[in-house]
Structure 1
Amino acid sequence: MTGTDDGRAGDGGQVGDGGETGEAGGSAWSPLRRRVFRDLWLAQFTSNVGSWMQTVGAQWLLVGHGAAQVSLVQLAAGLPVLFLALPAGVLADLVDRRRLLLAMQAAMALVAAALAVLAFTGRLGPWTLLALTFLLGCGNALNGPAWQAVQPSLVPRDELRQAAALGAVNLNLARAVGPALGGLLIAVLGVGWTFAVNAASFLAILAVLATWRPGTPARVPRPGQEREHLIAALRAGGRYVRSAPRIRRILLRSALFVPGASALWTLLPVSAHQSLGLGAAGYGLLLGAVGLGAVAGAAALPALSRQVGGNGALALAGAVFAGALVTLAVGAGVPVAFLALVLAGAAWITALSTLNAGLQVALPAWVRARASAFYLLVFQGGSALGALCWGQVAQHAGVSAAMLLAALVLLGGVLSLRRLPLPGGRTDPTLSEAWPEPRLTVEPAPQDGPVLVTVTYRVRAERAPAFVTAMRKVESSRRRTGAVSWGLYRDAARPEQFVETFTVTSWSEHCAQHHGRYTGTDRAFETDARALLTGEPTVTHAVMAHDRDA
């Protein structure tokens, strides 16, 4: 599959799910040939560098107020994700994602500009700084799911793994470059300029978004549907994640990797100062090693994925990252630490790209941002809780002990891959219209409901066990697409007859099952079950009766 000249790609075709298939098309840098992806990647790098420069400036302003307030900068920036990620995911699935990104980037630019003005005029106090940093964190939280969800429209699906790797490279390179530039700017011109540069950095993303014209059609409701409301859409996203084993397993694998790996980002500054005897310049050198490893890991990822698959890549990444933590814990010296951090950067890219790409290629368009929000919640929450945990361990038992314990946690995650691997096989998240239209005498109103759907099947006795097994996958399909209850019953008087029942909250939700949520994978599950029947099933639709119907 190839994208169009402007970077767009279609949604068609079956794809690997990020498990053992390990599919990756083209070279590590092939997504950069897509003009919009390349322009957004460069603009995002500019913005990420600006963000890290601002973080340095904010921390520098608070140095004289004690370590506790300095630590509040990261808390203020990261806390909004924990309570805004899920609503942001719903919003990104309901509105035009490009316009949402434009609004959030513009809002964050204004907040950064306000920080700069207050700093230049000497009116930026500690609590004002933290409050505005919190607002920037809110913008990032509302921006994140939409940013994740647009990626599949920028590159072909067989390049999603490389695109995810390049996204992680972007962040790690900015992490290496931004603090160094921020420190230099503070020394030469003053703290206010770090805020001003960050405000200007948003203009790069705004310029690219303003000229990008995605080919995604508008979300226009079909007959019998109405636009999803916020709460209903949030519940639909939660039902999808609960009923999608692939997505749940990716979230689990993230939860088993990120908290342990977060020890490196939390404790590296202390390790650089205490164990390696390095100053700010030496710490910047270590961050550069991580960035170098990220680039190398992104380059090697396509070949690695083809050789060992998604689970093999995760196992290798976890083991290598654990080894890097052990190396830093034993204080092997600066050259060895530099090499260990290069490997850690490559391992970090490998793990995050495998998980992120596995998520994106498995998600249908209608719920992509909502499910991505769950992923961001697990990722950010795991990072925050991990940082809190390792900081406390280091405070009471020492940095080396904390790093060794984190390495053990990572190795435990590697061992768990034998029993809890990423799912293999293939999935087709593309929209399917194969579900037949219901035959009705009276069309219910969109808000009418609940709706009870009953499907009667006839199956020969020898095929009954296989049919029941096949229907378990149909159950997950029904629940993912909107069913709030489901059951399969066998007629006691006619054992060859089975009755499936499921309920949906409204007629609009059921129409969404037909027209906006039924994918190629759902069709395949239903086809496998119906191949065991002796004839066509009978379907009935019943809508909850109310007093007005009497």
Structure 2
Amino acid sequence: MSGSPPGAFAPLRQTTFAVVWAATVLGNTGTFMRDVASSWLVTDLAAGPAAVSLIQAAGTLPVFLLAIPAGVLSDILDRRRFLIAIQVLLAAVSLSLMALSYAGLMTVTALVALTFLGGIGAALMGPTWQAIVPELVPQREMKAAVALNSLGINIARSIGPAAGGLLLASFGAALTYGADVASYVFVIAALLWWKRPAKVDEPLPEEFGGAFRAGLRYARASRELHVVLLRAAIFFAFASAVWALLPLVARNLLGGDAGFYGILLGAVGIGAIAGALLLPRLRAGLSADGLMLTAALVTAGAMAMLALAPPRWAALAVLMLLGAAWIIALTTLNGTAQAILPNWVRGRALAVYLTVFNGAMALGSLGWGALAEGLGVPLTLLVGAAGLAVVALALHRVKLPVGEADLVASHHWPEPLVAEPVAHDRGPVLILIEYRVRKDDRAPFIRAMHRFSAERRRDGAYGWGITEDAADPEKLVEWFMVESWAEHLRQHRRVSRADADLQTVALRFHAGPEAPVVRHFLGLGKS
């Protein structure tokens, strides 16, 4: 049946997607191998919890700092060339780690600095990898492609840590870092092979500064995105305890070596794959909020069990449960964010989400590491588990958005009337819209307009309000400000069908014989 949804592996029939996907799995496998080597190596250089958690923070803090600028760059640069440059940077980082380890010159300072530089590469890469998916598969296969990307990461998570731990235990850190360097060769080759169509000239191209401000305006005005960010920040801040302290759990509580630590992380990956396969069945019986509550409680239980120093076989089972819960939480939050974002701001808004995610992980890691210095690892894990369970139950009442609105651009706004062409950088622009509203309809009209005002702000306005004519109280004027003429023209292109429906509700209260009068006023500059 032509209208049936595509299968889970349908995107792999697209040759370019399949090649890039396979190369990405190899690249992520190498990254996990590198991370295992760094996490374990720091326990040899400085065994304190603060130093160990510093590696986790150094890898995630750059994403917190740079994800939003990276999202902007992914929208205004050639994405293929940008990704190639990032892969070269990451290969150079791993090459430096390999050389220092081989020469016996590695220090905590060097390890943290290079981990931070690798985090910069990850920060630049994250939004761009997500943004290229629509270029590789048809629209109807988008969700399946996103799911396959998640599956690929967890395949790498299940293979990379175990392989990295075995290489580290058998041959040392230098060879482990060298394997990561080799993985980037495959990724760069796949990107060079990809013949990306030439970018069509955009009549209203965005510059970095304007695109950056537009993304922040959207994030500031989107209440649905605020809910996702709140839920993500609190969950990851508490759950980061287990990731920050896991190397010490493996070494001190479970008495394992580097190989066992890699096996533990491999168990997380296996659990994540199982969780991803189980997720469709769970969705049939649980809402997004139910999935998040389940994931949080399972994560809290896993943290508490690890704090009790279980037998190694039991620890592996616990880490599998942790991996399943982790992927359920990640997929639920990311899928909700994807569902509420229109295409024009998707990269930038997802970058905001990544900023919150990695900021919570980085700051949480530092905090749990500092707490473990005083309380010890077991008690710190128990505190984190109790806190996660409590906040999960409390936040269950803050419902995630459903994400079923039609966000396709409606293109229903007419072109602005102008006496002569207006320069794109001219601004600011004041837009006035005159409505005639009967006295009895004023209250419901204003309520409808306040709901619609969020659309104005998300799509480009930095000020909005409603005024009345002192001489004619039935004449109400909506006003909003936009920073430039080009940004207002982009605003015309950004209005979604869901926003058009909100506008239709408000227009039902307009009692004038003709459509509301729209006027545009251009700033003349300061005198």
- Residue of structure 1 in register with 2:519 after alignment: 540
Q: TM-score, normalised by structure 2?
A: 0.89
1:508 CA displacement: 1.4
Alpha carbons of structure 1 residues 286 and 123: separation in structure 2 relative to 1, 3 Å: closer
Aligned residues: 523
Shift of 1:355: 0.9
Q: CA deviation at 1:64?
A: 5.4
- Of 129, 140, 155 in structure 1, the residue corresponding to residue 122 of structure 2 is 140
RMSD value over aligned CA atoms? 3.0
CA contact (8 A) 1:93 1:368 kept: no
Q: Which residue in 1 is equivalent to 2:469?
A: 491
Find the counterpart in structure 2 of residue 21 from structure 1.
none
Residue 22 of structure 2 is matched in structure 1 by 42
SS of 1:496's partner is strand
| Deviation, structure 1 residue 141 | 1.4
Which residue of structure 2 lines up, in the alignment, with residue 9 of structure 1?
none
Change (3 A) 1:354 1:158: farther
1:210-231 deviations in Å (ceiling 9; x for gaps): 3334569536124xxxx32322
The one-letter amino acid paired with 1:407 is: A
Over the matched positions of the two proteins, sequence identity in percent amounts to: 43
Q: Which runs of 5+ in 1 are unaligned?
A: 4-23
Q: Which moved more, 1:328-337 or 1:377-386?
A: 328-337
Gap change, CA 1:134 and 1:101, over 3 Å in 2? same
CA distance in 1 between counterparts of 2:81 and 2:33 reads 27
Query: How many Å apart are 1:195 and its aligned residue?
Result: 2.6
Letter of the 2:167 counterpart: L
Please give the TM-score of this superposition, normalised by the length of structure 1.
Answer: 0.86
Q: Which residue is 1:504 aligned to?
A: 482
Moved more, 81-90 or 25-34: 25-34
1:487-506 deviation digits (Å, cap 9, x = unpaired): 01233443332210011111
User: Are the counterparts in 1 of residues 294 and 325 from structure 2 also a CA contact under 8 Å?
Assistant: yes
What is the alpha-carbon distance in structure 2 between the residues aligned to residue 360 and residue 525 of structure 1? Answer: 21
Tell me what 2:163 maps to: 181
Answer whether contact 2:169 2:259 (CA < 8 A) is retained.
no
Instruction: Supply the distance in 2 between the matched residues of 1:407 and 1:221 (Cα, whole angstroms).
Output: 52
Query: Secondary structure in 1 aligned to 2:467?
Result: strand
Matches within 5 A, 1:139-538: 139-155=121-137, 163-213=145-195, 218=200, 220-222=202-204, 227-424=205-402, 426-515=404-493, 517-535=494-512, 536-538=515-517
CA contact (8 A) 1:77 1:134 kept: yes
Amino acid at match of 1:77: G
Shift of 1:511: 1.3
The alpha-carbon deviation at position 78 of structure 1 amounts to: 3.0
User: Structure 1's 217 and 459: CA in aligned 2 closer, same or farther, altered over 3 A?
Assistant: farther
Could you tell me which residue of structure 2 aligns to residue 80 of structure 1? 62
**Cα gap change, 1:316/1:56 in structure 2, threshold over 3 Å: closer, same or farther?**
closer
Deviation at 1:187, TM superposition (A): 4.8
SS at match of 2:481: strand
CA distance in 2, matches of 1:500, 1:210: 51
Deviation at 1:445, TM superposition (A): 1.3
Report if the CA contact (8 A) 1:169-1:291 is conserved.
Answer: no
Q: Given the superposition, is the C-alpha separation of residues 333 and 198 from structure 1 closer, same or farther in structure 2, using an over 3 Å criterion?
A: closer
SS at match of 2:287: helix
The CA deviation at 1:539 is: 0.2
Q: In 2, distance between residues paired with 1:88 and 1:259?
A: 23
- Distance, in Å, in 2 between the alignment partners of 1:313 and 1:210 is 40
Separation (CA, whole Å) in 2 of partners of 1:78 and 1:2: 43
Tell me if structure 2 keeps the 8 A contact 1:77–1:136. Answer: yes
Matched residues in 1 for 2:404 and 2:509: separation?
A: 22
1:124: how far off?
6.2
Please list every run of 5 or more consecutive structure 2 residues that lacks an aligned counterpart in the other structure: none
Q: Do the aligned partners of 1:250 and 1:355 also contact (CA within 8 Å) in 2?
A: yes
Q: Does the residue aligned with 2:383 lie in a helix, a strand or coil?
A: helix
Q: Deviations over 1:329-366 (max 9, x none)?
A: 34454444333322221111111001111112322222
Shift of 1:473: 2.3
Cα distance, 1:521 vs structure 2: 2.6
Task: Give the residue type in structure 2 aligned to 1:85.
Answer: A
Deviation of 1:82 (Å): 2.8
Which structure has more relative contact order (CA 8 Å, sep 6+)? It is: 1
Is 1:54 the counterpart of 2:34? The answer is: yes
Determine the C-alpha separation between the residues in 1 that align with 2:99 and 2:107: 12
Q: Is the contact made by 2:162 and 2:266 (CA closer than 8 Å) also made in structure 1?
A: no
Distance in structure 2 (CA, Å) of the matches to 1:176 and 1:397? 31
* Aligned-pair CA distance for 1:61: 5.8
Contact 2:46 2:108 in 1 (8 A): no
Partner deviation per Cα, 1:467-526 (whole Å, 9 max, x = no partner): 2111112211111111111001233443332210011111111111123x2222322221
TM-aligned CA distance change 1:254 to 1:160, over 3 Å: farther
The 10-residue stretch of structure 1 (451-460 or 77-86) with the greater mean CA deviation from structure 2:
77-86
